[in-house]
Amino acid sequence: MKPIKGGVGGYPVMLSFDDGPRPGTTERVLDVLARRGLEPDRPLRAAFFTLARNPRGWWVRRLLFAPYEIWTDKGSLERHPDLARRIVEEGHWLGNHGATHFWPRWPWYRNRRRVVAQLREWERVADAVVPAWRGQAARLARAPYLIRTYAWRAATAETGVADLGGLTTGDANPRADCEDVRRTLLTRLERERRLAEQTGRPVVLIFHDIRELTAECLDRWLDTISAAGYDLTDFDPDRL
């Protein structure tokens, strides 16, 4: 299969963001996308894989998140409905990242029914907060920590959601700075492009809109991607 080309640049790259929405960072990410639209008065469209809620209480979070997880203060549709509505109103995709960003390797989440409950709970909260998400042409999900266990795969099949992965960018590294991520991006993009060209599918990058680093440096990273000859294009699951 011949590689799909984007508009004016080189190989097409789509953007996605995980773990939000969270005030102070998500709106700044949305502002960057609004400035970089492919058409006047329209943002560069991305996919936001969001959480329904972020439970209060450190011990509760420890029973949900991975043992090595350091960011327990994640985003929440329930707490930040205005940001959720802005995501959808501006034409971005709203995706299911689990109700509470559970670690799929915990023994109690190796059960298909519990994972189905996580996906359904996210939909219940999204329906209450921003019902317009149902107007999307596809229902999208991404596994927390990108861990696709048997239970996760079975649950997404049962609930009829499209299970999407992507290429991590390094912005989740707590020791990384803007330049570190820039270098990581270029290295991983080049490697992924070679693989993606065999299938003709765009590369999907994974950032985290709850990260201050991402809100601060995203514009520069997108400049880097474009300058390297990649084509920033609207997120479109039909192309994946």
- In this predicted structure, what is the pLDDT of residue 7? 39
- In this predicted structure, what is the pLDDT of residue 231? 93
- In this predicted structure, what is the pLDDT of residue 195? 78
What is the pLDDT confidence band of residue 140, given thresholds at 50, 70 and 90? Answer: very high
Residue 128, both tokens: 């209450």
DSSP string computed for 44-64? PP-EEEE-S---SSHHHHHTT
* Average pLDDT across the chain, whole number: 93
pLDDT digits (tens, 9 = 90+) for 78-92: 999 999 999 999 999
Mean pLDDT of 146-163: 98
At how many degrees (to 10) do helices 26-35 and 212-227 cross? 20
Mean pLDDT of 156-168: 97
CATH topology of domain 12-239: TIM Barrel (3.20.20)
Whether pLDDT at 6 is above 70: no
Residue 34, both tokens: 């609004």
| Cis amide leading into 237 (omega within 30) | no
3-state class (DSSP) for residue 42: strand
Alpha-carbon 17 to chain mean position: 3
- In this predicted structure, what is the pLDDT of residue 2? 33
Question: What are the angstrom distances between the C-alpha of 41 and each of 37, 73, 111, 223?
Answer: 7, 33, 45, 20
Reported residue count of the chain is: 240
Tokens 């005030």 — which residue? Answer: 23
3-state class (DSSP) for residue 11: coil
- In this predicted structure, what is the pLDDT of residue 59? 85
Residue 176, both tokens: 């990384």
Domain spans, the chain: 12-239
Whether pLDDT at 72 is above 90: no
State how far the Cα of 86 lies from the Cα of 21, in Å rounded to an integer: 10
pLDDT digits (tens, 9 = 90+) for 172-202: 999 999 999 999 999 999 998 887 777 778 9
- In this predicted structure, what is the pLDDT of residue 73? 84
Contact (CB, 8 A) for 52 and 101: no
- pTM given for the model: 0.94
- In this predicted structure, what is the pLDDT of residue 200? 79
